[in-house]
Structure 1
């Protein structure tokens, strides 16, 4: 690497970025430098214009320079909310393309994958997408290979799904640069029990039973997987039972015992969560959101959405927009 074998990492910050994603990468790198007794890693913060950036927690960060002055970085990570973007997309995306052409590895953590994909630089590359953004991501980028793995790491592109995944990614960088012993010691410093790698899937709420944290029974988990694969074209409970090789009554009993809900209500809740992602993190018309989760019209979506969240999709979107504009506050990110 350049600069006396140091790895230079640049964090491109947008308003609303999750602060934990920044610290979860920097802190293990800092510890690795201390343990190794050398500056194996260095880092800096940049923003589009060199302006201060406000995190999702409301803490403001001082950028050291604008993106246009970012040169010779080995790795550049985008940190943002899903709705973040460049003030001048042509200029910002051009700067990213220029860095990529000159050998910089480009990556995104959590919501940072959204502006990275919008730049066009992830075409043909798989992307790690946090489960809470999955529906919004697929709605905006149906052609991109979205993965549920915590880390998706290739030669020139790194993506990670959230702060803990960012910590894992930092451990991988440490292992590659300084060896497994130091990576393990860093993990122990922070009581990080294991280093997750490629192929490890995210833990999602649907995979556990209410109040217990235990895994869903295999039959229920298989049903949930089928539900997740049939959002835009809903599948009947009878068809789910048929595919799994049990009776609809067995599915009903298994869901009631494991979740306290009927399978149809559980399925509807999954669809409502997907709908809310699109309401909050996209600008898609409500009619398109209804179609995306399998409704033939807006009316039943509004009814079920109001039942789930206490207000209609349009009211929810207006509330979020007021939050962004009137309070000048970024939407909380993960």
Structure 2
């Protein structure tokens, strides 16, 4: 719901400020039937996917587990639209169905940090980026709702001008207009601190950890690469995050495992191997220490929630 309003509302405001009906939008669902957002709000589409024509741009908005009821037909329709010059876009989890249609192959894609592990697991050959938005060419992607607002502002600047885009941002008190190359802020495992607030040596170490989720890197090697002693690295980590470097590394791995578990369909052993564990037992023990629940129970819990909320459960 937030992704939809974030892409439309700036365009509406730009029309009003410019005194011109420059931007038009149409809500589309696969079969034309109304669609329920994750916030349980219903939207009435204007048409079905099959009825689409004369579009300049089509954005796919969905959860990561969403799939078309008529996959072959609907994916084919998306591909035909792309072949006929329609720019294809996706926001947040919408990148998953667009990728399943083969329309992100060869395109750099903005992937929300919470979907990163699941996306790379399902689409290892698509180049993913932590940038909040990816602009240019025939594909536009935004990592989340706030990023969709940024993307909309860039479209306004391109079609109208920068002054109107700035005024639209001020209308909504949008703090700043982020462009391509600006990376997503991520939570750390310390209260009220995001990744951009970490001390340089900790930030550099976290990047090394993040690049070595599947293959283990030794803390002594990380300290050497950062240019400090192991003891100094441990002191700064504990002071900043409340965790030792090893503890932080384990937490990173477990959060990646949870992303795959919640948003993907990999088996437990596949998840364990992907985050550097040789068995499900050893991964489950660490997962329990971090989250207070076994991974198989966590997956069952979230799937039961999805059933109650009438959401899509990932198929095996």
Structure 1 residue aligned with 2:192: 211
What is the DSSP-based 3-state SS (H/G/I as helix, E as strand, rest coil) of the residue aligned with 1:84? coil
**Cα 1:215/1:209, change in 2 over 3 Å:** farther
Alignment CA distance shift 1:156-1:183 (3 Å): same
- Alignment equivalent of 1:158, drawn from 140, 143, 148: 140
Q: Which runs of 5+ in 1 are unaligned?
A: 1-18
Q: How does 1:268-307 map to 2 (within 5 A)?
A: 268-307=250-289
Give the deviation of 1:329 after TM superposition: 3.6
The residue correspondences of 1:229-248 to structure 2 (distance < 5 A) are 229-248=211-230
> Could you tell me how far apart the structure 2 residues matched to 1:266 and 1:212 are?
14
Q: 1:197 to 1:211 in 2, by over 3 A?
A: closer
Question: Is residue 34–residue 42 contact of structure 2 (8 Å, CA) maintained in 1?
Answer: yes
The answer for the alignment partner of 1:48 in structure 2 is: 30
Q: TM-score, normalised by structure 2?
A: 0.96
How well do the aligned residues superpose, as a CA RMSD in angstroms?
1.4
Query: After alignment, is 290-299 or 313-322 more displaced?
Result: 313-322
CA distance in 1, matches of 2:268, 2:185: 29
SS at match of 2:197: coil
Give 1:195 deviation, angstroms: 1.1
Give the aligned length.
Answer: 312
Unaligned runs of 5+ in 2: none
Per-residue deviation, residues 77-123 of structure 1 (Å, max 9, x unmatched): 00011111111111111000111111110010001011111110111
Where does structure 1 differ by over 6 angstroms across 4 or more consecutive aligned residues?
none
Partner residue, 1:120: 102
State the structure with bigger RCO (CA 8 A, min sep 6), 1 or 2: 1
Kept in 2, the 8 Å contact 1:209–1:216? The answer is no
Partner of 2:9: 27
Match of 1:312 in 2: 294
Choose the corresponding residue for 2:62, options 80, 84, 89: 80
- The two structures have a TM-score, normalised by structure 1, of 0.91
